[in-house]
Amino acid sequence: MNADSRKIDFYGRDFTITPDVLIPRPETEMVVDVVLNLVGKPILPGVKPRKAKLPQDCSILDVGTGSGCVAISLALELPAAHVSACDISEKALGVAQKNAAKLGAKIEFKKSDLMNDVDGDFDVVVANLPYVDESWDWIDKEALAREPAIALYAKDGGLALIKKLISQATERKVPYLVLEADPCQHERITSFAKENDYLLLEIRGFVMTFNCSF
């Protein structure tokens, strides 16, 4: 670990974080919980899991993987699943690949602008894409200055990348979408998703789950 790196706990494991990636946030752990729910895996001991909507050997794509925290947690929690992850940043992919190797997670990594360069069919696409709009005056930009702008900011009220991903998921006929966004964006995302044949299943914290209606 060099002077710029630090360790951050995510879903009970240590991830190495460098200035090239977003620092994983606690609210993003819900993305992992939601996918475990979709495959009917218990999250808390003694709590009965929900009825599975997807098989344990489902295929999962994490778009905008950053440090790899979501993809790696999913690969380790669901050993039968096929997990792929992509990011537009080569440096971020380097960090994610090192974390995967250290934690023993098998993941197919790919450099890609959203799903453009990723082949294959996926049962579920998860994404914590940049969703902060630079015009938001309630954001403490100084506190975010240690993280890359490409991991934080998006145009169109922060929704530009999320909307593009929803459109791509519609074209690729992805059955389930699990997206993180600020709660102030949830209504607009729900409407856009509906226009693109995705119906909102549930919202938990920052995390929205959609199911296709096609």
Q: Does 175 bind ligand SAM (CB under 6 A)?
A: no
Q: Does 66 bind ligand SAM (CB under 6 A)?
A: yes
Q: Does 158 bind ligand SAM (CB under 6 A)?
A: no
Q: Does 87 bind ligand SAM (CB under 6 A)?
A: yes
Q: Does 161 bind ligand SAM (CB under 6 A)?
A: yes
Q: Which of 35, 36, 70, 124 binds ligand SAM (CB under 6 A)?
A: 70
> What single-letter DSSP state applies at residue 52?
P
Q: Which of 37, 128, 185, 196 binds ligand SAM (CB under 6 A)?
A: 128
SS3 assignment, position 157: coil
Q: Does 92 bind ligand SAM (CB under 6 A)?
A: yes
CB of 212 to ligand SAM, least distance (A): 21
Q: Which is nearer to ligand SAM, 29 or 123 (CB)?
A: 29
Q: Does 64 bind ligand SAM (CB under 6 A)?
A: yes
β-pairing, 13-17 vs 198-204, is unpaired
Q: Which residue has the tokens 């489902």?
A: 58
Q: Which of 129, 174, 177, 178 binds ligand SAM (CB under 6 A)?
A: 129
- Strand runs labelled E in the chain: 6-10, 13-17, 59-63, 82-87, 108-111, 124-127, 176-180, 198-204, 207-212
CA pair distance 96, 196, nearest whole angstrom: 31
Pick the piece of the chain touching ligand SAM (CB under 6 A) from 37-45, 81-89, 187-195, 199-207.
81-89
CA pair distance 63, 165, nearest whole angstrom: 9
SS3 assignment, position 192: helix
- Name which of 105, 106, 122 is nearest 114 in CA terms: 122
Using CB under 6 A, list all residues that contact ligand SAM: 21-22, 24, 28, 63-67, 69-70, 86-89, 92, 113-114, 128-130, 150-151, 161
